[in-house]
Amino acid sequence: MFYVHQPEAAQNLEVFLALPNFGTCRHHVSRAILRSFDRSQIYSMGKWLCAICSTNTLITPQTAWHHRCDSLSSVEVILHGRPFYHSNKKNPSVACFSFGRQPGRRTEYYKYGMTQDDNDPTGTIWHLRRMSVTIPPDLDPVYHPLAQDLSYRFDNHSVAATCTTNSSSAVTIPCMEGSFDNSEDALNLTIMDLRTRNVTKLRARDKGVWAPVEADDAPSVLLIDDSLGSEVLRTAVTMPGNCTRLKLCLATRRERGIDVLAAVGLILKAQDNYAYTCTTPDSN
């Protein structure tokens, strides 16, 4: 079946199921593929979907997981949310950044972990901190992540970061400040890089899935650079058999941006919410 993670929209499913001449084809198409499309898009996709079904060349969940980013980017991020039985706030949710141009085969270079601030009793302050770097020493230093700690305040929707001055330094400086909107069905960020004074506005092209308290679906969003109109990030697919993991595709050369990293942290927190929900034992 198709396994493309997109936001939920039950009315779109109803439109799809009402399309004529789909027969058994419609039963092979995951609900997820319909989630971000409006009605006109679903109608225009109808013949194409049925043609794919009739040739029995359906995309399996495993294929989608390994290759969803191939045509979009050489960089992917796997988000590890904390499951119900491992949700202690001291255990971080993790974002693993992998690079490589060979389809389906990428190498992890570094990871970030997200946890609640230890000294914040309100639960409104969270940190995305660099955990480890495993970049080969002969690789261009530009791949080395300089962002050390991103601090999110969910009470006033602000974010700030400190960075090391270069790839071999332990000295940190303030390097970013900005704001975000992660309310339901939205993800938008305005980020200033304090080192260059450049301001970037990232906005969701389509509705996303955001649930600050309890998430009944994994986060889904496509972010574009508002000034350039180009795609910088999109959610791809959850891991088959493991709902706690979600893959992101990053636009090549944008993975180094502090603005994109700020967005990754927000998506990681949303995936963490979903991971808890999807692994909670059924009370029945």
d(Cα 70, Cα 64) in Å, to the nearest integer? 10
Half-sphere exposure of 189 (CA within 13 A, CB side): 31
d(Cα 159, Cα 219) in Å, to the nearest integer? 20
pTM recorded for the entire structure: 0.78
Q: Is the predicted pLDDT of residue 159 greater than 60, yes or no?
A: yes
The two tokens of residue 72 are 């979009």
Give the confidence band of 274 by pLDDT, cuts at 50, 70, 90.
very high
Q: Is the predicted pLDDT of residue 208 greater than 60, yes or no?
A: yes
User: What DSSP designation does 212 have?
Assistant: S
Phi/psi class of residue 131: alpha, beta or left (left: φ > 0; alpha: ψ in -120 to 50)? Answer: alpha
d(Cα 145, Cα 135) in Å, to the nearest integer? 10
Mean pLDDT of the chain: 77
Residue ranges with strand state E in the chain? 75-80, 93-102, 105-116, 125-133, 147-153, 158-164, 172-181, 188-193, 198-204, 222-225, 231-239, 242-250
The two tokens of residue 21 are 């001449």
Q: Other C-beta atoms within 10 Å of 207: how many?
A: 20
Are 7 and 36 within 8 A, CB to CB?
yes
pLDDT at residue 69 in the model: 82
Spell out the domains of the chain, with CATH numbers in brackets: 10-59 (no CATH), 70-278 (3.20.90)
Are 220 and 251 within 8 A, CB to CB?
no
For CA atoms 152, 157, 163, 167, give the dihedral sign.
positive
Give the confidence band of 115 by pLDDT, cuts at 50, 70, 90.
very high
Are 96 and 120 within 8 A, CB to CB?
no
pLDDT per position as a tens digit, 253-265: 776 789 999 999 9
d(Cα 210, Cα 221) in Å, to the nearest integer? 9
Q: Other C-beta atoms within 10 Å of 200: how many?
A: 22
Name the CA radius of gyration of the chain, rounded: 19
The two tokens of residue 176 are 């970013």
Q: Which string of DSSP letters, residue by residue, matches 3-40?
A: -------HHHHHHHHHSTT-TTHHHHS-GGGGTT--HH
Q: Is the predicted pLDDT of residue 187 greater than 70, yes or no?
A: yes
Cα 176 from chain centre: 20
| Cβ-Cβ contacts under 8 Å for 260 (sequence gap 6 or more) | 202, 223, 232, 233, 250, 254
Nearest to 70 by CA among 222, 267, 247, 261: 247
